[in-house]
A and B are shown apart, each in its own frame.
Chain A
Amino acid sequence: MSLTTPRADRLRAVRRAWYRFRRNPAAVVGLAMVLLVFVVAIFAPLVAPFPEHVGGFVDFRNRHQPPSWTHPFGTDNAGRDILSRVIFGYRISLTLVVFVLGLAVPFGVLLGLLAGYYGGWVETVIMRLTDVFLAIPALVMALAITAALSPTLLNSMIALALLWWNWHTRLIYTTVASLKHEEYVEAAKVAGASDFHILFRELLPNCVSVISVKTTLDAGFVILIGAGLSFLGLGAQPPTPDLGTMVSSGANYLPEYWWGSIFPGLAILFTILGFNLLGDGLRDLLDVEVN
């Protein structure tokens, strides 16, 4: 136990984490994939070969062109460049993720904290509510809600946000229910700390790794379910380039014009895979139990 400065220690801890992360090649690949998707989405207008094909654009004389150098992914039924639309499609997917998780995670975490910490009727009410939401597939519920609100991208995001909190609530609830018996929580109580302090300063920081791993994994699944919704026609509406919608409208032209469906599908797969590899890597790194 040599004497070191706290900063050097901290640095060492970060290096150690990165070292452990790096030893998991899958996680590194996942990180790279996620970063790639983010970069491509952010700089979409610069990256996409035909950015104008994304909005109101049709060229029916060029419909269903097979993949070529000009159109690496081919063109769709309105003669639009599929690659460009995929690239812009990532914007939609990521917006979906950010919106849904941005709303659902804080809300779910808060409920989970309250239920786990207070127990009693607070727990009963919150956890039974999550049971109700659990009893029905997210996709089905999202379908029902989206259809009820009329199918638009915003509505499907709202529907998913309305459903997603319960997973985080459950996770945080179990985590907190076991953490609250930790002696450090009791120690804080003995010191006179308020519930607020205990919830947000003592318990929440200990949920961060669980939350971040779960959120990373969820990002993939939000995209998955979002794609499912738009596959059924309840997501973003044309001409917005949504990946799920592209797969489903491309499916009308299978098998001859397979590229219209396959490339957007692979693009979805790519993101979800990226988020999952990253999430799995983080889970190993932070050594937490999710699920």
Chain B
Amino acid sequence: MSGNLLELNQLSKRFPVRKGLFQRVVGHVNAVDGVDLTIGRGEIVGLAGESGSGKSTVARMIVGLLTPTEGTVTFDGEDVSKQLGTLAFKRRVQMVFQNPGSSLNPRRSVADALKVPLRVHGVPSSTWAERIRSLLEMVELPATFAQKYPHELSGGQKQRVAIARALAVQPELIVLDEPTSALDVSVQAKVIELLLRIRDELDLAYLFISHDLSLMRNFSDRVGVMYLGKLAEMGTSDDLFLRPQHPYTQGLLASIPVVSEAEEALKPTQRHLKGEIPSPANVPSGCRFRTRCPHAFDACREVAPTFHELSATHASRCHLHDPALAGSAEPTKA
């Protein structure tokens, strides 16, 4: 595992919850709770999970917008959790945000947006114009776009600019936090295509965050599914979509509206998930999924499950994989 570009080790983030007369801290939101994750060079790793499961918090910790409460971020063999803010690190890790509309400053032109990383990272100003042109070219936009303002661009074009900005300082890892969720499918397809092409050209690694599992399936090499701050299941795309093991993954897959019979056949036949996601400020005891799990049994209430390695690439955090505990409950069929 030493060849990994990025390693997250027991990464956690707690936000204080304040209440009462003096707004004392009365508890914590465990937004991210002990996440282990690795990304190799040139690899695309997906992170799926529903709203509030902590995906963005992981992303923000990786790029240094938040400092982890616990755990480490190791980049290229170096522990950077303490120096997340340093420029050298920032140059190598970039981020593209969900909403193309809000990730560009409406008052600043495309060129202005692209200049920020160039200036910060000491690129000589004489080369900026050339650099901006080649960046725009890379994301397939005409050079005249440099002078445009965000409101003059369509959603897909804005997202391209955002990608160009991330590429400006030649990073090695780009964190994509739901980069296409605000786009139409037809536009999404073009952006995804672009991302893949750039990855091939520049040998980038992506951490791809989305709750669109169909997209995940096509885009990522490996996928992790998060539930309430913890990884529920992790594996290669095939592992996860062809052999989902965690009841939550199964439920999630079953919920996806699909457009063909062929896909329908791939969906687990399991019952649909019921109920709402519990508040992360008030996580259920034991297994955090048990309140919605169709297979929950007594042990789930008391003991928090650990990861069970199902294969070299596939792991799932569920008591069903533990023969000792799951004796009474009927195991799921794969």
Contacts and interface: CB of A to CB of B under 8 A. Distances in A.
Given A183-B98, A183-B99, A187-B95, A192 B107 contact: no
Contact of B102 (A3, A6, A184): A184
B87 A192 contact: yes
A188 interface: yes
A9 B152 contact: yes
Interface stretch (A77-85, A202-210, A241-249, A266-274): A202-210
Interface string B88-119: 00110011011100111111100011001100
A211 B162 CA distance: 28
Query: Which size bracket describes the interface of A in this complex?
Result: 20 to 34
A190 B102 contact: no
Interface in A166-189: 182-184, 186-189
Contacts of A17: none
B120 A193 contact: yes
Interface in A194-222: 194, 197, 201-202, 205-206, 208
Contacts of A208: 107
Given A186-B97, A191-B116, A193-B120, A1 B154 contact: yes
A68 interface: no
A6 B120 contact: no
B290 interface: no
B90 A205 contact: no
Contacts of B165: 187, 191
A193 B113 CA distance: 11
A291 interface: no
B148 interface: yes
A177 to B, nearest CB: 15
Contacts of B60: 186
Interface of A is mostly: helix
Contacts of B235: none
A186 B65 contact: yes
A184 B117 contact: no
Interface string A1-31: 1010110010000000000000000000000
Interface in B58-98: 60, 63-65, 87, 90-91, 94-95, 97-98
* Residue from B102, B105, B112, B147 whose CB has the most chain A CB atoms within 10 Å: B105
Nearest to A187: B103
Nearest to A5: B144
Given A6-B148, A9-B148, A184-B102, A191 B107 contact: no
Given A202-B105, A205-B105, A190 B65 contact: yes
Interface residues of B, number: 34
A202 B108 contact: yes
B99 to A, nearest CB: 6
B226 to A, nearest CB: 20
B144 A187 contact: no
Nearest to A188: B116
Nearest to A186: B65
A109 to B, nearest CB: 15
A183 B175 CA distance: 14
A182 B108 CA distance: 14
Interface string B252-268: 00000000000000000
A184 B120 contact: no
Contacts of B107: 205-206, 208
A83 B172 CA distance: 73
B28 interface: no
A205 B108 contact: yes
B27 to A, nearest CB: 21
Contacts of A197: 116, 120
A3 B102 CA distance: 24
Given A183-B103, A184-B105, A6 B90 contact: no
B121 interface: yes
Interface string B138-177: 0000001001100010100000001001001100000000
B105 A191 contact: no
* Residue from A183, A191, A201, A205 whose CB has the most chain B CB atoms within 10 Å: A191
A188 B165 CA distance: 10
Contact of B90 (A9, A183, A184, A191): A191
B251 to A, nearest CB: 30
B114 to A, nearest CB: 9
Interface of B: 60, 63-65, 87, 90-91, 94-95, 97-99, 102-108, 112-113, 116-117, 120-121, 144, 147-148, 152, 154, 162, 165, 168-169
9 contacts: A6-B148, A9-B148, A182-B105, A184-B103, A184-B113, A186-B65, A188-B116, A193-B120, A206-B106
Given A191-B168, A197-B116, A202-B105, 4 more contacts: A187-B95, A192-B87, A197-B120, A205-B108
